[in-house]
Amino acid sequence: MSTTIDHHASTTARAVVVPTDGTVEAWVAEVAALTQPDDVVWCDGSEVEKQRLLDEMVDAGTLVRLAKRERSYLARSHPSDVARVESRTFICSERQEDAGPTNNWRDPRLMGRELHAVFAGSMRGRTLYVVPFSMGPLGGPISQVGVEITDSPYVVASMHVMTRVSRDVLALIDAGHEWVPAVHSVGAPLGPTDTDVAWPCNDTKYIAHFPESREVWSYGSGYGGNALLGKKCFALRIASVMGRDEGWLAEHMLLVRVTAPTGRRYHLAAAFPSACGKTNLAMLQPTLPGWSVETLGDDIVWMRPDDDGALRAINPEAGFFGVAPGTGVDTNPTAIATLEHDVIFTNVALTDDGDVWWEGLTPEAPEHLVDWTGADWTPGSGRPAAHPNSRFTVAAAQCPSIAPDWDDPAGVPVDAIVFGGRRATNVPLVTQAFGWDHGVFLGATISSERTAAAEGTVGELRRDPFAMMPFCGYAMPDHWAHWLTMGDRLNPARLPAVFQVNWFRKGAGGRWLWPGFGENSRVVAWIAEQVDAAHHVRPDAGAVDSPLGRVPAPGALDVDGLGLPAADLAELFHVDRAAWRHEADLTEAFFAELGHVPDRVRAQLDALRARLTP
């Protein structure tokens, strides 16, 4: 598809655009006519190009070159531009009901007029960069392509890391391949602050998605989730709609390969909301002898049925855009090893010898730092040195645990799908779904309990179905219906087994009942054994039924050497029927808020209640 600016707010729902001659060149010319940049640069994706941009930003004072890490840099943002802005993130579908109650809906014609007004002249004094990129290996059967226009060199350099930027994308489009147009401008800059600013921004922000025309328009923010439009905007919000319409899945999931001591391989895709152990599982270092885990992706997975009816998956990204705080040698040594060189750090602290630091990197903080705002910091300052959402942007290929074939265009067959939340009570350590429909129900009811550190009532459930609440480009109940349809299309003999895990259950006095981290490999090993049982590879399933699903039979979960008290192990799988009947009532109320929940999902709630009845 190709587009041009709609200066007259067309009666068709096309954002600020209408179809033209089908060329990227015409689209770029029209966007340039609207935004009025001083120059237009077509990017080629080369290392020379990326290094030139990085050097120019260092010379301009908007990046700090790190003396202690080769080819690595520190960026600092405006204090108002440090995270995704969900309140200004819009789904502009033609019908409001298609966006659903969990998305911010705006009429596409009205949004088009607003965007036209703010983008007019927004790139004066800057360069307009044209960034052709592929999500997934170029030309792969599960891959998609797009073109981002941006006036931010920081965004261009980051897109080099996070996607596959190449002029070959333009050749593919010229040959007729569908593509997603994405336009980004940081907008008119805010006034000066007391911090060095890596990118300008504006108080007025829009991150607008147009599902029918497959477009993204982003204004006013330079932060990654709002500005790297190949990431959440394309790879999840737009791609989820594409998947619904075309028969595939775009999901907020990690992807790993697990290899057993026998050499048998298993591929797991797993959805976890934030702060629930996603990155640690993506880079798991097993403690069980003979087991290994290779990283295929840490954040987004695209899955498509193959000719044999198996679900094949790729990681469409080329890099990691990870949260720095809490990432340390003790919690995630693989991530730390990934960050030794060629990294763009954003909003972390700077050490006196030219390195970076954040809370959780080391047990003790340095005596002096320059914090993420550019101010002096000491351990007694009473404020974090790094922003809680500070980030690192690094190529996936640098990860020590990356699989050698992580970017195979054909992807890998998915053997298991895992859902997880952060629950101090109720949810067992691991549960296997009774079947695909029950698995969809588990995904639809992912939740975490709010703590005293989070906004809201302590203990209240924060719902995040499929870990997709902020990222699904259409109504959540329709997303669940699409998953049910996908299950119907797959070969029953190749259908992935579905599981739910919870590393965070607590006992009396708030004690963690499970050690977590590398010991989670024990749960992964049991999941692999259940996959074998489902495919009749092994006769003994090692599982028993509970009201919530199938759980490890006595002795089936390897806990040798953990020193785990028998009472703690029992508590990890205890089902409080009264508490679960109350939770079923909460789930029914949640479904009522969403509206048209599929009958097959509601039937799973009824079945749960029946199993909970004494």
Annotated binding residues for GTP = 275-280, 391, 422, 517-520
Q: Which residues pair with 402 in a beta bridge?
A: 295
Mean pLDDT of 314-330: 95
Query: What is the distance, to the nearest Å, from the Cα of residue 352 to the centroid of all Cα atoms in its chain?
Result: 33
DSSP state of 396: G
DSSP 311-373: EEEE---SEEEEE-TT--TTT-HHHHHHTSBSEEEES-EEETTS-EE-TTSSSS--S-EE-TT
Residue 50 tokens, joined: 């990326």
DSSP state of 267: E
pLDDT above 90 covers what percent of the chain? 88
pLDDT above 80: residue 11? no
Q: With contact defined as beta carbons under 8 Å apart, do 399 and 320 qualify?
A: yes
Annotated binding residues for Mn(2+) = 232, 252, 299
Quick: pLDDT tens for 211-260.
999 999 999 999 999 999 999 999 999 999 999 999 999 999 999 999 99
Q: Which of 151, 188, 196 is nearest to 60 (CA)?
A: 196
505, containing H or E segment: none
86, containing H or E segment: none
Calpha distance 232→218 (Å, rounded): 12
pLDDT above 90: residue 459? no
Mean pLDDT of 454-472: 80
pLDDT above 80: residue 197? no
Calpha distance 39→22 (Å, rounded): 23
Calpha distance 301→216 (Å, rounded): 20
pTM of the model: 0.94
Radius of gyration of the chain from its Cα atoms, rounded to whole angstroms: 24
**What is the SS3 string spanning 151-178?**
CCHHHHHHHHHHCEECCHHHHHHHCCCC
- CA separation (Å) from 518 to 106, 524, 572? 45, 10, 18
Q: 20: pLDDT confidence band, cut at 50, 70 and 90?
A: low
Q: 107: pLDDT confidence band, cut at 50, 70 and 90?
A: very high
Q: Which of 324, 395, 310, 317 is nearest to 355 (CA)?
A: 324
Q: 73: pLDDT confidence band, cut at 50, 70 and 90?
A: very high
Q: With contact defined as beta carbons under 8 Å apart, do 220 and 204 qualify?
A: yes
415, containing H or E segment: none
Give the model's pLDDT for residue 423: 94
Q: With contact defined as beta carbons under 8 Å apart, do 188 and 212 qualify?
A: no
β pairing state of 89-91 and 206-210: parallel
Give the model's pLDDT for residue 6: 41
Give the model's pLDDT for residue 16: 65
**Residue 197 identity (one-letter amino acid):** V
376, containing H or E segment: strand 376-377
Residue 500 tokens, joined: 């739910």
CB within 8 A of 25, min separation 6: which ones? Answer: none
269, containing H or E segment: strand 265-271
Give the model's pLDDT for residue 188: 75
Q: Which of 256, 609, 238 is nearest to 415 (CA)?
A: 256
Q: Which of helix, strand or coil describes residue 210?
A: strand
The domains located in the chain, with CATH, are 3-64+81-246 (3.40.449.10), 250-318+407-612 (3.90.228.20), 320-396 (2.170.8.10)
Least confident window among 35-39, 94-98, 541-545, 594-598: 541-545
First to last CA, the chain: 58
Calpha distance 278→272 (Å, rounded): 6
278, containing H or E segment: helix 278-282
Left, alpha or beta for 411 (phi > 0: left; psi -120 to 50: alpha)? left
Residue 22 tokens, joined: 């089908």
Calpha distance 355→339 (Å, rounded): 12
417, containing H or E segment: strand 416-420
Annotated binding residues = 84, 223-225, 232, 252, 274-280, 299, 389-391, 422, 517-520
Least confident window among 176-190, 342-356, 536-550: 536-550
DSSP state of 512: B
Residue owning tokens 């975490």: 448
Calpha distance 105→107 (Å, rounded): 7
Count Cα neighbours of 168 within 13 Å in the Cβ-side half-sphere: 11
CB within 8 A of 136, min separation 6: which ones? Answer: 142, 143, 144, 164, 302, 314, 315, 316, 409
Mean pLDDT of all residues belonging to the chain: 93
Q: Is 201 a catalytic residue?
A: no
Give the model's pLDDT for residue 193: 46
Residue 442 tokens, joined: 């588990």
Residue owning tokens 């693989």: 334
Residue 15 tokens, joined: 């954002």
Count Cα neighbours of 506 within 13 Å in the Cβ-side half-sphere: 10
Q: Which residues pair with 430 in a beta bridge?
A: 501
DSSP state of 82: S
Give the model's pLDDT for residue 610: 98
pLDDT above 70: residue 18? no
Calpha distance 215→16 (Å, rounded): 10
Give the model's pLDDT for residue 274: 82
* Cβ count near 204 (within 10 Å): 14
pLDDT above 80: residue 592? yes
Q: With contact defined as beta carbons under 8 Å apart, do 61 and 197 qualify?
A: no
Of 43, 92, 233, 276, the catalytic one is 276
CB within 8 A of 609, min separation 6: which ones? Answer: 581, 584
Give the model's pLDDT for residue 200: 81
Quick: pLDDT tens for 490-522.
999 999 999 999 999 999 889 999 999 999 999
Quick: pLDDT tens for 398-434.
999 999 999 999 999 999 999 999 999 999 999 999 9
DSSP state of 496: P
Give the model's pLDDT for residue 534: 85
